[in-house]
Structure 1
Amino acid sequence: MKILITGATGLIGKELTNLLLKENHIIHYLTTSKLKIQNRENYFGFYWNPKEGKIDENCLDGVDAIIHLAGASISNRWTNSYKQELIESRLLSTNLLFHLVKKNPKQVKHFISASGTAIYPDSNSAIYDETASEIDHSFLGNLVVKWEESADQFNLLNIKVAKMRTGVVFSENGGALPEMIKPIKMFAGSGFGTGKQLQTWIHINDIARLYYFTLQNEIEGVINAVAPNPISNQELTRCIAKHLHRPLFLPNVSKMVMKLILGEMHILLFNNKNIIPRRALELGFQFEYPSADLALSNLIK
């Protein structure tokens, strides 16, 4: 199969690309840096610039499916200008792909888009599977709604659309986990707020495999791309400390302090959401790392 990937050099993109190449698929990838364009066996780079509406149309040559991972990181401080960057990086890129595919009808059969669990509201009691219709009307929740609406355009071209609502990705090579590890390693680790808030997560290996599973089985619709066992902030902190062989003796950091440090982005640490991957499990996907303890024992060495 020939697959076009955006965000191929990002955290998930690298893992997924390596997996697809191992399985002998041909990868076309889009990059905004001409210096990152490579051409080697089964791996070919193409330039695009969504802000300027530019794309090398050769990227679509013979492509059967598109995996769209591109989007600015939510881990930077949410200034007004950066909020706009978060929106544009997702919508402009998706729209550019849509208009290109529209000019080449009946070729691409599957469009798989990254999405986020931020679409679900904060709740102390709800359990969210893919049938949940509640929407969080925060900035991030509304961003995910717009992101998914832009992906759904591909349905108009009779293309199957899958939306991967992803939790925190645990990886030793980037993302949130190394940042969680740093203070604990320095004997300065602590939980946030009450520590009872549930956090959804997924091992980097499992998220790549779940994308591939979705591709292989031509799955469409919403998929909660999270491990089946969410973990409280306090338990996650303790679990990391256990694998690092570090004590925890500092009090939890208050919400007010983190708001001063991170601004609006602090909500990522305090939201309480119990999200389960019902569709992935029902469709037969098997997680290699269903628990945080298993994931951390693999990643912290």
Structure 2
Amino acid sequence: MAGKILITGGSGLIGSRLSEMLIDQGYEVAHLSRSPDKYSHYKTFRWDVQAGSLDENAITYADYIIHLAGAGLADEKWTKERKREILRSRVDSSQLLYKGLQQQKHRVKAFISASAIGIYGDSGDQLMSEESTYGEDFMAEVCKAWEASVWPIKDLGIRTVILRTGIALSEKGGALPQMARPVKLMAGAPFGSGKQYMSWIHMDDLCRLYIRAIEDTQFAGVYNAVAPHPVTNQEFTEALAEVMHKPLVLPKVPSFALNMMLGEMSAVVLSGQRVSANKVLQTGFTFEYNYLDEALESFYKNQQS
């Protein structure tokens, strides 16, 4: 049943792991890139979101499109300029793909886009489902605009799936190495109150979910891409220290210190989302990593302290 998958953001953390897993399952994979690298493992088509240009061969190549592109949230401080880039990179890229699909003959069967659980804002310990109300902060606004830019693709008669991703755990990047570094140095501590919820998902489960969304036509609409058992920031930090065999010596990192270091971006660390995985579970999808300790052990169990 394998086919040709076109991935935007294919060289990012999720995109690179997903590409490997798709190849392992017999799919052909191509990436859309602003600067195609002739040494890339993957067939690469050129696009330039700012210039609004897209190689039309990319659209005719694809059986499925997976849309992960967007400026990284933690790469730089959130200046006004950077915030505009975080928003525009997601919205403009979706609109460019929509235009390509609208204008060209293609055989795209499904369009699967990333979004984020940040759409729920800081929701405390309330369990959020796909139908829950949205937040009002910057990240929630970005996610709302991002999803709104994807939905018109459904009107082209293409099955459209949006996966609202939690904190994707990988030892190769993202939040986990940043949280593990102070723990390794015996300076680990929960952030802020430590009570804020973290809805996480193991990178391999996330990629398996993308592949499932390609293969299983019952997938349509919005799904939370999170493991079934969210934890608080304090529980996360304690589990990490345990699996790394390190003590937690410090008290909690105060909010004002995080604000000084990260500026507005600290909201991502200090606000919590407790998000339900029920809708995904009801499709029959099974998580390989249901509990945080299993997920963390998969990354750190072989590391000697």
TM-score (norm 2): 0.94
Deviations along 1:34-90, whole A, 9 cap, x unmatched?
Answer: 33564x6xx411111110112111112242211000001111311100001101111
1:20-169 aligned within 5 A: 20-35=22-37, 38=40, 43-75=42-74, 76-105=76-105, 107-132=107-132, 134-169=133-168
Q: Runs (4+) of structure 1 moved beyond 3 Å?
A: none
Partner residue of 1:295?
295
**Match for 2:278: what amino acid?**
R
1:254-265 aligned within 5 A: 254-265=254-265
| Aligned mates of 1:3, 1:16 — CA distance in 2 | 11
1:10-21 aligned within 5 A: 10-21=12-23
1:228 match: secondary structure: coil
Cα offset, 1:131, TM superposition: 2.3
User: Is 1:214 paired with 2:213?
Assistant: yes
| Aligned mates of 2:125, 2:183 — CA distance in 1 | 30
Cα offset, 1:278, TM superposition: 1.3
Answer yes or no: is the 8 Å Cα contact 2:255–2:270 preserved in 1: yes
* Identity rate, percent: 39
**Match for 2:80: what amino acid?**
N
Answer yes or no: is the 8 Å Cα contact 1:238–1:248 preserved in 2: yes
1:90 match: secondary structure: helix
Answer yes or no: is the 8 Å Cα contact 1:66–1:112 preserved in 2: yes
| Aligned mates of 2:37, 2:192 — CA distance in 1 | 44
**Match for 1:130: what amino acid?**
E
Answer yes or no: is the 8 Å Cα contact 2:60–2:105 preserved in 1: no
TM-score (norm 1): 0.95
1:260-279 aligned within 5 A: 260-279=260-279
1:34 match: secondary structure: coil
| Aligned mates of 1:125, 1:250 — CA distance in 2 | 25
| Aligned mates of 2:81, 2:124 — CA distance in 1 | 32
Count of residue pairs brought into register by the alignment: 297
Partner residue of 1:191?
190
| Aligned mates of 2:36, 2:192 — CA distance in 1 | 44
2:32 match: secondary structure: strand
| Aligned mates of 2:14, 2:124 — CA distance in 1 | 30
**Match for 2:8: what amino acid?**
T
Answer yes or no: is the 8 Å Cα contact 2:62–2:108 preserved in 1: yes
| Aligned mates of 1:125, 1:207 — CA distance in 2 | 23
Answer yes or no: is the 8 Å Cα contact 1:31–1:37 preserved in 2: no
Cα offset, 1:122, TM superposition: 1.9
For the structure 1 residues 37 and 130, does the alpha-carbon distance in structure 2 shift closer, same or farther, using more than 3 Å as the test?
farther
For the structure 1 residues 178 and 59, does the alpha-carbon distance in structure 2 shift closer, same or farther, using more than 3 Å as the test?
same
| Aligned mates of 1:161, 1:135 — CA distance in 2 | 20
Cα offset, 1:123, TM superposition: 2.5
For the structure 1 residues 125 and 195, does the alpha-carbon distance in structure 2 shift closer, same or farther, using more than 3 Å as the test?
closer
Cα offset, 1:245, TM superposition: 1.0
**Match for 1:129: what amino acid?**
S
Answer yes or no: is the 8 Å Cα contact 1:21–1:27 preserved in 2: yes
Partner residue of 2:174?
175
1:52 match: secondary structure: coil
| Aligned mates of 1:282, 1:27 — CA distance in 2 | 29
For the structure 1 residues 95 and 46, does the alpha-carbon distance in structure 2 shift closer, same or farther, using more than 3 Å as the test?
same
| Aligned mates of 2:155, 2:222 — CA distance in 1 | 17
**Match for 2:28: what amino acid?**
I
Answer yes or no: is the 8 Å Cα contact 2:5–2:62 preserved in 1: yes
